[in-house]
């Protein structure tokens, strides 16, 4: 426990912490909105990819909070602990995506139309790549593995938004229900790889 929490650690590198505060503050605000809207849309549309997208919002809320904890004045966690926690969250996300997609295929659940779902996924496709790029740049500058892992979360959010949007569109236009869960499962190997790298503190910050 003492290794995880370093009580009373002062702030260091003010410019770095300020940039991270802004990035993670924006992430937290957006994820609160995205989480509520996407989970409602998932229930409305019966879409596993939309459910995975909503679950990713929950995971990213936790991931952004963990990154911020590195700079908390009284309960700062080490970069290694933060990176490992981010890795665990990526594993959790991969598991949730797999369960949602598998359940959809087994139960033959076809996604329905959802204007709310379409709206939130389009918004995420615009916002999340920008956030991911800014986080990767800051992670590269500071060599922060936890922030790099969180950048993966943001990029994954955009990927899952694209999958959910495509799944809803493919079913609406061509009635292809299987595209949604298959496309969602395609993200699992990538998530598992990034989770392992984050756990080892070797998450790529150069891409």
- Which tens digit of pLDDT belongs to each residue from 127-175? 999 999 998 988 888 787 778 878 887 888 888 788 778 877 777 777 7
Per-residue pLDDT tens digits for 107-126:
777 667 778 888 888 999 99
* 33: in domain: yes
How remote is the C-alpha of 121 from its chain's centroid? 13
Domain count for the chain, please give it: 1
For the domain that residue 168 is a member of, what is the CATH number? 1.20.1510
The pLDDT of residue 123: 92
* 22: in domain: yes
Domain that holds residue 37: 14-199
* 9: in domain: no
* 5: in domain: no
* 4: in domain: no
* 129: in domain: yes
* 115: in domain: yes
How remote is the C-alpha of 34 from its chain's centroid? 11
* 204: in domain: no
Q: Are 135 and 23 in contact (CB under 8 A)?
A: yes
pTM of this prediction?
A: 0.70
């Amino acid at each position: 426990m003492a290794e995880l929490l370093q009580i009373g650690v002062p702030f260091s590198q003010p410019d770095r912490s300020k940039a991270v505060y802004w990035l993670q503050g924006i992430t937290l605000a957006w994820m609160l909105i995205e989480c509520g809207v996407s989970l409602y849309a998932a229930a409305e549309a019966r879409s596993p990819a939309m459910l995975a997208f909503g679950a990713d919002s929950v995971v990213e809320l936790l991931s952004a909070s963990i990154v911020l904890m590195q700079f908390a004045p009284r309960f700062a966690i080490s970069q290694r602990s933060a990176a490992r926690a981010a890795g665990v969250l990526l594993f959790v996300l991969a598991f949730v995506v797999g369960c949602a997609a598998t359940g959809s295929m087994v139960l033959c659940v076809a996604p329905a139309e959802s204007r709310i779902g379409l709206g939130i996924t389009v918004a995420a496709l615009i916002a999340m790549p920008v956030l991911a790029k800014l986080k990767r740049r800051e992670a590269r500058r500071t060599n922060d593995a936890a922030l790099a892992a969180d950048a993966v979360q943001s990029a994954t959010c955009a990927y899952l938004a694209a999958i959910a949007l495509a799944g809803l569109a493919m079913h609406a236009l061509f009635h292809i229900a299987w595209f949604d869960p298959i496309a969602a499962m395609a993200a699992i190997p990538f998530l598992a790889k990034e989770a392992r790298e984050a756990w080892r503190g070797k998450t790529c910050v150069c891409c």
